[in-house]
């Protein structure tokens, strides 16, 4: 017991730490740096899709079964088209930052971006 307490950092320690660091590095390279914003598509009360915007490499579209098409781009999400009358949702434009949202009220569909943005307020009034 005492010898263990007395000596700090043996060769075996360094090997263990190096192995873990190597593993971390390898995982980092495989998964990529994935700390971006996450987008959600909510229909009524249900979260239909959760998308990591920083993982998006090629733009694509999601056709919902209520006449709405949501477009996803690297780092952005937006309503591409809707068959509702006022199309306010399409006019909101691209969402890129945490805390932003857009809604199509006639179809009860919401897209929003969540993330850890310290500067973003808790809510918006307007």
Partner 1 sequence: MRVQRILRPAALLCALLTLCTTFNGCSSSYQERTAFAMGSVMTARLYAPEDKADDLFDRMTGKVEEADRCLSANDPASEIAAVNAKGSANAGAFTRKTLGDMVLLCHLLNGTVDVTMGAVTQLWGFSTDEPRKPEEADLQAALATVGLDRLLIDNTNETVVLGEGQKIDPGAFGKGVALDEISNVLHTASYPAVVSFGGSVLLYGQPRNGKSWTVGVRDPFGGENDYFAKLSFTPESGDYTGFISTSGSYEKSFTQDGVTYHHILSPETGYPVETDLVSVTVYAPGGLNSDALSTACFINGLNPQTLQWLQSFGAEAVFVNKDKEYYVTDGLSDAFSLTDDAFTPMAYEG
Partner 2 sequence: MNEKRNKLTALTVSAILAAAALAASFFERTLTAGLPLPPGVKPGLSNVAVMFACAVLGLPSALAVTAIKAGFTLLTAGPTAALLSLCGGLLSALTMFLLLKIRKNRLSYAGVSAVGGVMHNVGQLAAASALVGSAMYLNWLPILLLSGVGFGLLTGVILNAVMPALVKLKWFR
Total interface residues for partner 2 by CB under 8 A: 26
Of 70, 72, 43, 44, nearest to 59 by C-alpha is 72
Site string for partner 2, 3-32 (x = CB under 8 A): xxx-xxxx-xx--xx--xx-xxx-xx--x-
Minimum CB separation from partner 2 for residue 80, in Å? 25
Considering only residues 50 to 69 of the shown chain, the ones binding partner 2 according to CB under 8 A are: 50
Q: Which of 89, 45, 85 is nearest to 69 (CA)?
A: 89
- The answer to whether 110 contacts partner 1 (rule: CB under 8 A) is yes
Q: Which listed option, partner 1, partner 2, none, makes contact with residue 31 (CB within 5 to 8 Å by class)?
A: partner 2
The DSSP H or E segment spanning 13 is helix 11-31
Determine, following the binding rule CB under 8 A, whether residue 85 of this chain makes contact with partner 1. yes
Nearer to partner 1, 6 or 35 (CB): 35
Quickly tell me which residue has 């009360």 as its tokens.
45
Under rule CB under 8 A, residue 81 binds partner 1? no
User: Is 123 among the residues that bind partner 1 (CB under 8 A)?
Assistant: yes
Cα separation of 56 and 59, whole Å?
A: 7
Dihedral, 86, 91, 97, 100 alpha carbons, nearest 10: -20
């Amino acid at each position: 017991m005492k010898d263990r307490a007395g000596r700090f950092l043996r060769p075996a320690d360094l090997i263990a730490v190096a192995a873990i660091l190597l593993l971390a590095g390898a995982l980092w390279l495989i998964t990529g740096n994935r700390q971006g914003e996450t987008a959600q598509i909510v229909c009524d009360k249900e979260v239909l899709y959760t998308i990591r915007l920083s993982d998006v490499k090629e733009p694509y579209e999601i056709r919902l079964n209520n006449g709405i098409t949501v477009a996803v781009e690297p780092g952005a999400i937006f309503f591409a088209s809707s068959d509702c009358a006022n199309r306010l949702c399409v006019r909101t434009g691209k969402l890129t930052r945490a805390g932003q949202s857009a809604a199509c009220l006639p179809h009860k569909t919401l897209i929003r971006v969540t993330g850890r943005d310290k500067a973003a307020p808790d809510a918006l009034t307007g």
